[in-house]
Structure 1
Amino acid sequence: MELSWRQPPAVSQRITAEVIAMDLDEGRVRLSMAATGNPELWAFLRSLHRGEILSGTVTAIERFGVFVALDDGPDHPVFPGVGFITIPELSWRHFEAASDVVQVGQHILCVFLQFDTWNGEARLSLRATQPDAFQAFVDGIAVGQTLRGKVTKLVPFGVFVQVTGGIEGLVHLRELASMPPDTPESVVQVGDEVSVVVTEIDREKRRLALSRRQASPSADLR
């Protein structure tokens, strides 16, 4: 059962709640007091359709996502906006912080994904309004092709190499040199320009696997 955002009920207290879901297999009914206490909000959220384009203003940026006050939507009784964008739905490209993509006060267009009945909010996607640069890029390359790129990040299991604007691939530690190094720092540093061979393209997970070793068979430690 979903409780009211304002005051949870006491034991034996009589309440009014709305059925929002049923599980016939488990014999369970999901109720919401928040729904009955905020009929305008619930009516608005129920009127939305997946894929619908909505407009609004960014009202708050948190580490877990971005709140959006929708132009045609009501106020939320708790949150700074009835719309919410999770971090993965902000952009197709890699970014360090949500503020790299949007700013408070910015007016944006988003795609409606679903009605979050637990929080009483519209889950939105900003990246769905943008072309996916990764898919466009891999349309023009193939496994076995050699690319040039810049090392952008070192991690214990390898390095990330940017092969074009915003598109990065992973060179696993074993693919860094002819003799697998103990650490990536012994082979490359952030900012180095390297040649890499495409070893795998995963469109569904949007991942690119690369090999420096195959591009330079004589590649060795620094």
Structure 2
Amino acid sequence: MVEENQMGMNGQQGLKGVEVNQVLTGTVTRVDEKQALVDVGYKYDGILPISEVSSLHIEKVADVLSEGQEIQVKVIRIDQGKDEMIVSKRAVDAEKAWGELQKKFESGEVFGVVIADVVKGGLVVDLGVRGFIPASHVERHFVEDFSDYKGKTLSVKVIELDKEKNKVILSHRAVLEEEANKQKQKVLESLEPGSVIEGTVQRLTDFGAFVDVGGVDGLVHISEIAWHHVEKPADVLKEGQKVKVKVLKVDKENERISLSIKATLPGPWEQAADKFKAGDVVKGTVKRLISFGAFIEVAPGVEGLVHISQIANRHIGTPDEVLKEGEEVNVKILDFNPSEERMSLSIREALDEKQKQEVKKEVAAYQVEENAPGSMSVTIADRMGNMSDLLKKFKS
């Protein structure tokens, strides 16, 4: 048993076996609005003022303590004349907290805290001492309203600790970033060039789109979005959209992933194989003029060559005598090899084909007219003359 009549650190005569600054374990016997009484096993209960209950501001003692609860308190003042002993729970909690927080700070330990209050600039937690999570350290993204965070449990790390200034700064964002980095490394290790996976469009820029592939963003360059020319990524994609991507390159050292959406889609020549065949007459657009001919686009990403000899029914010196870039023309497919992405075209034969079709229509119309009632008034000579003209057209 502690000896009687020990002197407290402030020079006061202590109660039986009790000194100022002594830590005692007791039971809460009564809870009032602004104070509580604690039975520490001595002559009378210790008085625990509301200001000594918690490191945080509280409205009433009942918010923290209840009758019958066992707590540890520190004796902070003894008044023999009034038979009064003032104790503090806050002082005991703080002393324990600083030691534990120092260990957590040095080890980088992640631990859970319950948000006690939302204040200007961040969140407050009770660690035995007041802990503060600045707004910029709550999440990885911007949060406009923190009101929903009160009572919520967050995993945090101590990022700043100063006992002299009673300063404890915590960060939830640091925990999230650490988890994201671990996930990133895991994904970087698992991705293989050539593999096709599903991702989500996270962000659109002028030069491409960032796609989330398992917690890591990879870049789809604007040239890899589609087989046709894309002016702006936003014209084709939208944020949140699910897309299939092919992994082109993984740079583990610099943590960069190059992706392609167009590589997962049928190429223009693959699509053209189902659409075109030799002998077809199709519409196209003059894309480029060169000395020996012109390149005509007959479908997005599919161009064929019209040799200069196949441009007109007459001799021309250069293609620009007849054609201009951007002009729409009819072309006949002479040869088509989709596997080698080659197509030979002819404007001249398309013109001949058109003329032949027109002649066939005229012949058919003539035959209908000949067989119509009253057609006997047409002389044999007239018939022969008309037929001769049509045949000349056809042969030409």
**TM-score, structure 2 as length reference:** 0.35
Q: Which residue of 2 aligns with 1:41?
A: 184
The answer for the alignment partner of 1:188 in structure 2 is: 323
Which among 149, 156, 163 is matched to residue 283 of structure 2?
Answer: 149
Can you give the 5+ residue segments of structure 1 that lack an aligned partner in the other structure? Answer: 1-37, 75-81
Which is richer in helix? 2
Change (3 A) 1:42 1:213: farther
Q: Percent sequence identity over matched residues?
A: 25
Superposition pairs of residues 125-164 of structure 1, within 5 angstroms? 125-143=260-278, 145-157=279-291, 158-164=293-299
Work out the CA distance in 1 between the residues paired with 2:246 and 2:280: 39
The alignment partner of 1:52 has SS state of strand
Per-residue CA distance 1:47-69 (angstroms, 9 max, x = gap): 2351222222243232xxx2414
- C-alpha change, 1:111 and 1:67, in structure 2 (3 Å) is same
In structure 2, stretches of 5+ residues that fail to align are 1-180, 354-396
1:97 paired to 2:231: yes
- 1-side partners of 2:189 and 2:239: how far apart? 26
State the structure with more CA Rg: 2
Shift of 1:109: 0.7
Matched residues in 1 for 2:273 and 2:248: separation?
A: 29
Could you say which residue in structure 2 is the equivalent of 1:23?
none
Map of 2:204 onto structure 1: 59
SS of equivalent residue, structure 1 residue 43: helix
Letter in 1 for 2:214: D
Q: 1:178 to 1:86 in 2, by over 3 A?
A: farther
SS of equivalent to 2:229? coil
CA-to-partner distance for each residue in 1:103-144, whole Å, 9 max, x for gaps? 57473513232443275322222124434454233234322x
Conservation of the 8 A alpha-carbon contact between 1:60 and 1:104? no
Compared CA separation, residues 86 and 201, structure 1 to 2 (3 A): farther
RMSD over aligned Cα, in angstroms? 3.5
Q: Is the 8 A contact 1:151 1:189 kept in 2?
A: no
| Displacement after TM superposition at 1:149 (Å) | 0.9
Query: Could you tell me how far 1:100 is from its partner in structure 2?
Result: 7.7
Counterpart residue number, 1:175: 310
| 8 Å Cα contact 2:285-2:328 kept in structure 1 | yes
Distance 2:237 2:295 in 1: 27
1:44 Cα offset (Å): 1.4
Residues 28-61 of structure 1: CA deviation (Å, up to 9, x unaligned): xxxxxxxxxx765343122235122222224323
Per-residue deviation, residues 126-171 of structure 1 (Å, max 9, x unmatched) = 124434454233234322x131313242332433434356644332
What SS is found at the alignment partner of 1:185?
helix
Cα 1:91/1:209, change in 2 over 3 Å: farther
Change (3 A) 1:135 1:163: same
| Bigger RCO (CA 8 Å, 6+ sep) | 1
Q: Report the equivalent of 1:68.
A: 210
Report how many aligned residue pairs link the two structures: 169
Please report the TM-score for the alignment, with normalisation by the length of structure 1. Answer: 0.57
1:210 aligns with 2:342: no
The C-alpha deviation readout for 1:169-201, integer Å capped at 9, x for no partner, is 332434323456343221123454433221332
